[in-house]
Amino acid sequence: ISTWNAVPQGPPDAILGVTEAFKRDTSPKKMNLGVGAYRDDGGKPYVLTSVKKAERLMLEKNMDKEYAGITGVPSFTKAAGALAYGDNSPVIGEDRLAIAQSISGTGALRMGAEFFNAWYPHAKNIIVPNPTWGNHIPIMKNAGLSLEKYTYFDKQTNGLNIDGMLEDLHKAPKNTIVLLHACAHNPTGVDPTKEQWNEISKVMKEREHFSFFDMAYQGFASGDCTRDAYALRKFVDDGHQVVLAQSFAKNMGLYGERVGSFSIACADAEEKARVDSQLKIIIRPMYSNPPIHGAHIVSTVLNTPELKEEWLGEVKTMADRIITMRDKLRGHLENDFGSKKSWNHITDQIGMFCYSGMTPEQVEKIKSDWHVYLTQDGRISMAGISSANVKYLAEAIHNVTK
Ligand SMILES: Cc1[nH+]cc(COP(=O)(O)O)c(/C=N/[C@@H](CC(=O)O)C(=O)O)c1O
């Protein structure tokens, strides 16, 4: 018999599998609200003009295709670190940020998990929000960490259960690694307020927990890169030794280029050098060194003032379009079909996703009866909505939830 005779059929990915099902649907009314990827109001993927201009500049420079170093393109990692932590951050000023280019956010998260598994000097336990991005769980487990969930989403209010979260952070054993979404929480779209972040930081200090930030949407949540980095920078100011997984997939529309970084705020430059050497030892046998094209795009955009300005405008435009769709969807649901339910969470939530509150049965029904595709948990990727289909979506949601 074949060597692979015992290989079982695995389940399709909860998120990417929705797109596969969507592609098979032939209805002209079909809507893909599954994968968290931006579409413009015409429903088309959007390649940023600042990115296209950067690529033209790169072409003119006749760049070579040499290997990058193990930790990637230096002009990229330098610019990426400054964008995340802030130009005047002490972790950068004191040259104590160990940073490696990664295979986008997923690669950064995996690199971080592997680093914790190799070098974290306490129990290798990580706790993640309930709910969280589905891929967080296998990423952390496959890297050898033990994983639990902490209370996050409040089904009653469709908002943050801050008391439950703080209680779970208190209860967790000292030195637990805590995964935190820096902004635009996925799948709920519910972010802590600044005051709540301050409370979270205090408990994390008391319990000596370790902050693992995942920032996959900087700029995409509020439209302002500085505002969206509040939690990360506040934790650094409060003296937490954070680590960060950073992605440029969404905020620069570089999904398939796989551009991201993993960084560790170290105690000083000497420690940074040691940590950097161990990051290299993890990366080399994993994929040796990262792809250069996307990194050069980000570096060119962030290091060319007029392109950075243009990019900041584009990321705000993308965020604003999502916010407009939130307003329109809520408006139609409240005004056009006599819905008796409350829909304020649609506009209270922020970032790429709306946690609609639809049950798996309702998700199934809206797919079979209305050709609207979203993940089982009721998460709507807001970028799949346009002014042409927002009313149709409101009618569909109303009919499956009334
Ligand atoms: C919170 C979060 N972190 C990391 C990633 C990884 O993105 P990368 O492309 O590796 O930089 C994603 C992607 N989320 C969307 C796409 C996906 O599932 O891959 C999503 O939730 O639809 C996240 O939502």
Q: What is the pLDDT along the chain (402 residues), one digit of tens a residue?
A: 999 999 999 998 999 899 999 999 999 999 999 999 999 999 999 999 999 999 999 999 999 999 999 999 999 999 999 999 999 999 999 999 999 999 999 999 999 999 999 999 999 999 999 999 999 999 999 999 999 999 999 998 889 999 999 999 999 999 999 999 999 999 999 999 999 999 999 999 999 999 999 999 999 999 999 999 999 999 999 999 999 999 999 999 999 999 999 999 999 999 999 999 999 999 999 999 999 999 999 999 999 999 999 999 999 999 999 999 999 999 999 999 888 899 999 999 999 999 999 999 999 999 999 999 999 999 999 999 999 999 999 999 999 999
Decide if 250 is catalytic. yes
User: Helix/strand/coil (H, E, C) string of 361-379?
Assistant: HHHHHHHHHHCEECCCCCE
Answer whether 336's CB lies under 8 Å from 392's CB.
Answer: no
**From the CA of 258, how far away is ligand 1's center (Å)?**
11
State if residue 105 touches ligand 1 by the CB under 6 angstroms criterion. yes
State if residue 18 touches ligand 1 by the CB under 6 angstroms criterion. no
State if residue 259 touches ligand 1 by the CB under 6 angstroms criterion. no
Q: Among 135, 109, 142, 113, which residue's Cα sits nearest to residue 126?
A: 113
* Per-residue model confidence (pLDDT) at position 157: 87
Q: Among 274, 240, 279, which residue's Cα sits nearest to residue 262?
A: 279
Of ligand 1's listed atoms, the one at least distance from the Cα of 247 is 11
Answer whether 253's CB lies under 8 Å from 38's CB.
Answer: yes
> CA-to-CA distance for 216 and 213, rounded, in angstroms?
10
Can you spell out the DSSP letters for 310-341? HHHHHHHHHHHHHHHHHHHHHHHHHHTS---S
| Pairing between β-strand 153-154 and β-strand 243-247 as defined by DSSP bridges | unpaired
* Per-residue model confidence (pLDDT) at position 136: 98
Q: Is 259 left (phi over 0), alpha (psi -120 to 50) or beta?
A: beta
| Pairing between β-strand 379-381 and β-strand 353-355 as defined by DSSP bridges | antiparallel
**From the CA of 402, how far away is ligand 1's center (Å)?**
32
Whether the full predicted model's pTM is greater than 0.80, yes or no, is: yes
